[in-house]
Homo-oligomer: A and B are copies of this chain.
Amino acid sequence: MRASDKAYEALRTDIVEWRLRPGTVLGEVEQAERLGVSRTPLREALARLSADGLAVQLRGRGTVVSDVSFEHVDDLFALRRALEVESARIAATQGDPAIFASLRDRFLEARSSISGQAANRESYYLLAAELDQCIDEAVNNRYIEQSLRSLRVHLARVRRLAQDDPQRLATSASEHAAIAEAIAAQNPQIAVAATQLHLHHSLEHIKNHAGSERDTSK
């Protein structure tokens, strides 16, 4: 694995998992020493982070971890609506019904077994990620996929703003099952509706269950 990839992965994970909080300055020499790589690959990593929107490069003052606040959540979900609604529509027209029927069953099963356990929560997120991936494959559109990949990084970061409780996860599982169901039934209209509903509830939950990370815009 290249040193630049290693540095990028490490920094991206640190940012998404809030170990590097918004506003943190990423000095080149400092981070290069911390990650055990030279400045050259580290600079490449910082450039990629900037392209992802996870950091911004201020001329002269260095690179800082980009800000994430509640005002941006609405913006993020507006893009998510645009992309995922269209993706669901396309997946419903040209996806493999068997795959999504199977996913629906797994979501329904997951709904019953969800608890507050961290491991359980993590496995649910993995299942949701699998649905996303299957939709990606059904859509088979490199441009949409790229935009979605960028979006999901930011979503993962925002997730920490809200506290996911078992109640919400169970509801979310139902909504995901409904999306998979509609795609399996090859019904674009219902797939769109289910997606819109899920996004609406997801956004409402985040806005109503603000976490302790509120004080990011210092």
Chain A interface (Cβ within 8 Å of chain B)?
40, 43-44, 47-48, 51, 53, 72, 75-76, 78-79, 81-83, 85-87, 90, 139, 141-144, 146-147, 150-151, 154
C-alpha spacing A51/B48, complex, angstroms: 7
Q: Write 30 A-B pairs (CB below 8 A) sorted by A numbering.
A: A40-B40, A43-B44, A47-B47, A47-B48, A53-B146, A72-B142, A72-B143, A75-B142, A75-B143, A75-B144, A76-B143, A78-B86, A78-B139, A78-B141, A78-B143, A79-B141, A79-B143, A79-B144, A79-B147, A82-B82, A82-B83, A82-B86, A82-B87, A82-B144, A83-B83, A83-B147, A143-B151, A143-B154, A146-B150, A147-B147
The residues of B that contact A150 with a CB separation of less than 8 Å are 146-147
Copies in the complex: 2
Q: Are B81 and A86 in contact (CB under 8 A)?
A: yes
Chain B: which residue is nearest A44 at the CB level?
B47
C-alpha spacing A75/B154, complex, angstroms: 23
C-alpha spacing A86/B53, complex, angstroms: 21
C-alpha spacing A146/B51, complex, angstroms: 10
C-alpha spacing A150/B139, complex, angstroms: 19
